[in-house]
């Protein structure tokens, strides 16, 4: 189609040169899926950044807020008695 920009078919909006690097890396990595490469890269990035004490502290605090504090009151419900 005339006038239509060339695309890799990716739904990701990476700017160049990252878009081309990503495409070439996937091809070199046994045609790995986009999600495989992103998951692996994100896991490595998070693990590396969490080695920084201040980042780890903020991460733990954010996780506690998301999951709820261990000091939140828990109310136990009575169980039905078996006949």
Q: List the Cα angle 16/31/14 in 5-degree steps.
A: 20
Q: What's the total number of domains in the chain?
A: 1
What's the pLDDT at 56?
96
Supply 45's token pair.
């990035």
Convert the pLDDT of each residue in 11-52 to its tens digit.
Answer: 788 999 999 999 999 999 988 999 999 999 999 999 999 999
Assigned domain for 74 exists: no
Assigned domain for 42 exists: yes
pTM, 2 dp: 0.64
Residues of the domain holding 41: 34-67
- Position with higher pLDDT, 62 vs 3: 62
Assigned domain for 47 exists: yes
How many CB atoms are closer than 10 A to CB 59?
Answer: 14
Assigned domain for 60 exists: yes
What's the pLDDT at 68?
84
Least confident of 27-31, 40-44, 53-57, 67-71: 67-71
Nearest-angstrom CA–CA distance, 32 and 4: 27
Assigned domain for 46 exists: yes
Assigned domain for 61 exists: yes
């Amino acid at each position: 189609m005339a006038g239509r920009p060339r695309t890799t078919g990716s739904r990701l909006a990476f700017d160049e040169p990252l878009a081309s690097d990503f495409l070439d890396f996937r091809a070199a990595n046994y045609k790995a899926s986009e999600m495989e490469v992103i998951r692996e890269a994100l896991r490595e990035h998070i693990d590396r950044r969490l080695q920084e004490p201040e980042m780890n502290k903020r991460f733990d605090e954010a996780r506690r807020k998301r999951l709820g504090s261990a000091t939140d009151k828990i109310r136990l419900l009575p169980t039905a008695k078996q006949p």
